[in-house]
């Protein structure tokens, strides 16, 4: 709103614009005064302005890969008495983010040329009798060693079967990976 008033104050004046917008003219004038004279800002705003320069310097000196924790520790080593949450807030305000280790996991690799499966039930999930309508879902659960893929088949019970780290099933009803430790789970709805 402040930027809008700055842009249009020459044509309409501050007070008429403030009558239309939900801001008091005194709030606008106080903001402009703080912008002109940084000494009128609050202590936190003055400290944030000084710390933003230091946070940016540490971030840039370390090849823009440091996250909040490492930037905070580096500032502490250099003698700045600053809280970790303050560094986090300032980095978020400046749009700085550290590099995350590891490779992102792709759980779905879709084939855009393949046709989408048809909706055989027309989004009507009520069955007139048992064993007529079965629904299924395939998802994954992250574990310490790998991702375990789980298939759900829903009729009157939920039957979940872990199919292992590859997401493939050999048809035996057992998990196809040596990493899998889940067993068949049945939950009555």
* Tens digit of each residue's pLDDT (9 = 90 or more) over 162-172: 444 554 545 44
Q: Which of 94, 115, 132 is the last residue of a domain?
A: 94
> Do 51 and 9 sit in the same domain of this protein?
yes
* Number of domains forming the structure of the chain: 2
User: Are 73 and 107 contained in the same domain?
Assistant: no
Same domain, 56 and 118: no
Better pLDDT: 82 or 180: 82
Instruction: Please answer whether residues 30 and 24 qualify as being in contact, where contact means their C-beta atoms are separated by less than 8 angstroms.
Output: no
The last residue of a domain, from among 74, 94, 114: 94
Stretch among 31-35, 42-46, 144-148 having the lowest mean pLDDT: 144-148
Angle at 131 between CA 127 and CA 132, to 5 degrees: 45
What integer best gives the mean pLDDT of the chain? 80
The answer to pTM > 0.75 is: no
Domain that holds residue 28: 2-94
Q: What is the pLDDT of residue 155?
A: 63
**Do 11 and 85 lie in a common domain?**
yes
**Do 175 and 154 lie in a common domain?**
yes
């Amino acid at each position: 709103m402040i930027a809008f008033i700055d842009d249009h104050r020459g044509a309409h004046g501050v007070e008429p614009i403030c009558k239309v917008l939900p801001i008091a003219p005194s709030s606008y004038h106080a903001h402009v005064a703080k912008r002109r004279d940084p000494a009128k800002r609050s202590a936190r705003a003055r400290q944030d302005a000084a710390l933003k320069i230091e946070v940016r310097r540490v971030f840039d000196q370390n090849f823009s890969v440091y996250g909040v924790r490492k930037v905070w520790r580096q500032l502490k080593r250099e003698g700045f008495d600053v809280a970790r949450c303050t560094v986090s807030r300032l980095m978020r305000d400046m749009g700085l983010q550290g590099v995350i280790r590891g490779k992102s996991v792709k759980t779905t690799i879709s084939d855009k040329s393949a046709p989408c499966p048809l909706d055989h039930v027309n989004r009507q999930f009520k069955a007139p009798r048992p064993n007529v309508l079965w629904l299924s879902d395939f998802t994954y659960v992250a574990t310490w060693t790998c991702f375990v893929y789980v298939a759900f088949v829903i009729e009157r019970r939920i039957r979940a079967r872990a199919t292992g780290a590859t997401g493939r099933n050999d048809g035996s009803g057992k998990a196809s990976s040596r990493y899998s430790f889940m067993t068949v789970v049945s939950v009555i709805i």
